[in-house]
Amino acid sequence: MKIVFSVLLFVVSQFSFAADAISTGFLSNKAVSGYDTVAYFTENRPVKGSNKYKAEYQGADWYFSSQEHLNLFKAEPEKYAPQFGGYCAWAISAQNDFASSDPEQWAIVEGKLYLNYNQSVKEKWDADRALHIQQADKNWPNLIK
């Protein structure tokens, strides 16, 4: 069984697949790793969501820490959903490619939420946010075709 799984993993890794519009885990459908995207705006910090407060949006499951946050998201999901589907903003910009993100590495710029892969990548993104946002905005439409 291990051999079959290893071979399958090797075969799958050899092909490039178009990424989903929303970043979710490999074996999960959780957007933002289950973090409450509204909390970034209302509490100015990342907060884990709860299974009690869940919504489906753009094919992914979104979790929230309260009914109030769930209601805010349902009323305006595009306001609270992270840019570039929650993928690493720096990777979309600098690499013109997808990379997962860490919900602990975030920023809100001009009312929009951006996530990055890790702290060192976020530091690169922070060095020139405006340029990276401009470049990622240019790259994003071609990546999600």
Stretch (H or E) spanning 29:
none
36 φ/ψ angles, rounded to the nearest 5 degrees: -85, 105
Longest dimension (CA), the chain: 50
Q: What is the pLDDT of residues 48-78, one digit of tens each?
A: 999 999 999 999 999 999 999 999 999 999 9
Query: Which is nearest to 72 in space by CA: 45, 42, 103, 43?
Result: 42
Instruction: Put residue 59 in one of left, alpha, beta given phi > 0 → left and psi -120 to 50 → alpha.
Output: left
Per-residue tokens: 115? 């996530």
Domain boundaries, the chain: 23-76, 82-145
Which residue has tokens 């409450």?
Answer: 36
The pair phi, psi for residue 112, each rounded to 5°, is: -120, 140
Bridge pairing between strands 50-57 and 112-116: unpaired
pLDDT (tens, 9 = 90+) of the chain, 145 residues, equals 544 433 333 333 333 445 788 999 778 999 999 999 999 999 999 999 999 999 999 999 999 999 999 999 999 999 999 999 999 999 999 999 999 999 999 999 999 999 999 999 999 999 999 999 999 999 999 998 8
